[in-house]
Amino acid sequence: MNWKKEIIDIVSEIENAFSSDELAFLSLTSKIENPLRDKIAYEFHKRHYNKYIIAREWTDKSKTKKRTDLAILNIKGEIECIIEFKAHSDMKGIAQWGKEMKKDIEKSLLIENVKEVYFILFGNFIKALPENKNLDNSIKYYNGLNKAISRGFSKDNMIEKWENSLKKNNIQPDNYELKEINAGKYYDIDVKINTFIHGPFKK
């Protein structure tokens, strides 16, 4: 199975698995990692339930006892693929996740017999905040988003900061797929989710 192609295909269509503007609401009012992870997991389940077991927050019960965000096992319960997720909400500080990515990959590769490991980072991106200032308490990381917008933070800036973080953590900076999820609108603003798909990593 070409898991990388499956991941890219599912991420490319994942906005259609949510109601109109639901994803925009979720991404600005909470961390988007779990809602997207869970929906992606279910899309995998729908595609492959006859041949593969899709497990959220799966724990390796053999030697490592490591827990993973999403595991794909064959029907015999043998591990095939692991996907780790992170989400960044305030745009500007995305570089912090390079170190966490390295830790997640190293942890997952310790699991016996795992064939492939992937890492997915979701990054919220907006060009403005809603005109209604009373929404500041409903938008998670409002102050951070406001600072990024006021400084003209762009998609290219986000990509540059992420790639610099990869280099700093000795991860190949150009070995990923970038997909933009159109999350819809939250009140009067468009919300995008820049999705960095890394892998496969192998032993």
Instruction: Provide the residue ranges of all domains of the chain, joining segments of one domain with +.
Output: 3-201
The whole model's pTM is what?
0.95
- The number of C-alpha atoms within 13 Å of 81 and in the hemisphere containing its C-beta is 20
Assess whether pLDDT exceeds 90 at residue 132. no
Q: Each residue of 163-196: pLDDT tens digit? A: 999 999 999 888 899 999 999 999 989 999 999 9
Sheet with 52-59, edge to edge strand ranges: 52-59, 67-74, 79-88, 116-125, 189-201, 176-186
Assess whether pLDDT exceeds 90 at residue 135. no
